[in-house]
Chains A and B, each alone.
Chain A
Amino acid sequence: MMRRLLWPSVALTLVVAYPLLFATPFQQRIGALVLLYAIAASAWNIIGGYAGQVSVGHVVFFGCGAYAAMGAYTHFGLPPLVGIPLGIVVAVAIAAIIGTPTLRLSGHYFSMATIAVAELVRLVVTNTEYLGAAVGLSGPTVPRNIFDLSFISALPYYYLFLVILLITLAITWWMTNSRMGFYLRAIKDSERAARSLGAPAARTKLYAFMLSAGLTSVAGALYAMMFGFVDPESGLGILISVKILIMAALGGAGLLFGPLVGAAILVPLEELSNSWLGGKGAGLTFVVYGAIILLIARFQPAGLLALALRIREQRRKASEVSASVGASHAP
Chain B
Amino acid sequence: MSFVILQVIVGGLLLGAVYALFSSGLTLVWGMMNVVNFAHGDFVMLGMYVAYLVYTLLGAGPLIGAPMAMLVLATVGIIVYFGLIRAVMKGPMLAQILGTFGLALLLRYSVFWWFGANFLTLPENLVGGTLDLGGIRIQASRLLAGIVALAVTFGLHLLLTRTSLGSKMLAVAEDSTAAQLMGIRPDTMQAIAWAIAAGATGLAGALIATFFYIVPTVGETLAIVAFVTVSLGGFGSVPGALVAGLLIGVIESLSGYLIGAVYKDIVVYALFVSFLWFRPQGLMGKS
Is A257 on the interface with B (CB-CB < 8 A)?
no
Is A143 on the interface with B (CB-CB < 8 A)?
no
> A283 touching B109 by the CB < 8 A rule?
yes
Q: Knowing A111-B97, A127-B262, A290-B105 touch, does A283 contact B280 (C-beta < 8 A)?
A: no
Is B99 on the interface with A (CB-CB < 8 A)?
yes
Shortest Cβ distance from residue B84 to the other chain A in the assembled complex, whole angstroms = 6
Bound-complex Cα distance A98 to B273 (A): 8
Bound-complex Cα distance A115 to B38 (A): 10
> B220 touching A238 by the CB < 8 A rule?
yes
Q: Knowing A119-B220, A120-B266 touch, does A298 contact B99 (C-beta < 8 A)?
A: yes
Which residues does chain B contribute within 8 Å of A296, judged by CB atoms? 98, 102
8 Å CB interface, A244-282 against B: 245, 249, 253, 280
> A297 touching B91 by the CB < 8 A rule?
yes
Partner of B113 from A48, A253, A283, A295 at Cβ < 8 Å: A283
Is A56 on the interface with B (CB-CB < 8 A)?
yes
Which residues does chain A contribute within 8 Å of B99, judged by CB atoms? 293-294, 297-298
Partner of B106 from A54, A117, A238, A291 at Cβ < 8 Å: A291
Which residues does chain A contribute within 8 Å of B273, judged by CB atoms? 97-98, 113, 116-117, 120
8 Å CB interface, B249-287 against A: 262-263, 265-266, 269-270, 272-273, 276-277, 280
> A123 touching B265 by the CB < 8 A rule?
yes
Bound-complex Cα distance A220 to B231 (A): 31
Shortest Cβ distance from residue B246 to the other chain A in the assembled complex, whole angstroms = 20
Which residues does chain B contribute within 8 Å of A117, judged by CB atoms? 269, 273
Closest to B35 in A: A108
8 Å CB interface, B217-255 against A: 220-221, 223-224, 227-228, 231
Is B104 on the interface with A (CB-CB < 8 A)?
yes
Bound-complex Cα distance A63 to B268 (A): 22
Is A242 on the interface with B (CB-CB < 8 A)?
yes
Is A292 on the interface with B (CB-CB < 8 A)?
yes
Main secondary structure of the interface of B (DSSP, over half): helix
> A287 touching B94 by the CB < 8 A rule?
no
> A301 touching B98 by the CB < 8 A rule?
yes
User: Which residue of B96, B105, B272 has the most chain A CB atoms within 10 A of its CB atom?
Assistant: B105
Partner of B94 from A54, A119, A238 at Cβ < 8 Å: A54
Which residues does chain B contribute within 8 Å of A120, judged by CB atoms? 266, 269-270, 273
Which residues does chain B contribute within 8 Å of A127, judged by CB atoms? 262-263, 266
Interface size (A, Cβ < 8 Å)? 47
Is A182 on the interface with B (CB-CB < 8 A)?
no
Which residues does chain A contribute within 8 Å of B269, judged by CB atoms? 116-117, 119-120, 123
Which residues does chain B contribute within 8 Å of A28, judged by CB atoms? none
> B94 touching A109 by the CB < 8 A rule?
no
Interface size (B, Cβ < 8 Å)? 47
Binary contact readout A192-219 vs B (1 if CB under 8 angstroms, 0 otherwise):
0000000000000000000000000000
> A284 touching B113 by the CB < 8 A rule?
yes
Which residues does chain A contribute within 8 Å of B72, judged by CB atoms? none
Among A82-90, A99-107, A146-154, A170-178, the one that faces the other chain is A99-107
Is A124 on the interface with B (CB-CB < 8 A)?
yes
> B228 touching A294 by the CB < 8 A rule?
no
Which residues does chain B contribute within 8 Å of A249, judged by CB atoms? 94, 98
The list of the 5 closest CB pairs from A to B, nearest first, reads A290-B105, A293-B102, A290-B106, A294-B102, A297-B99
What are 14 A-B contacts defined by CB distance under 8 Å?
A56-B101, A105-B276, A107-B97, A111-B97, A113-B272, A116-B269, A116-B272, A253-B94, A283-B113, A286-B108, A290-B105, A293-B99, A293-B101, A298-B83
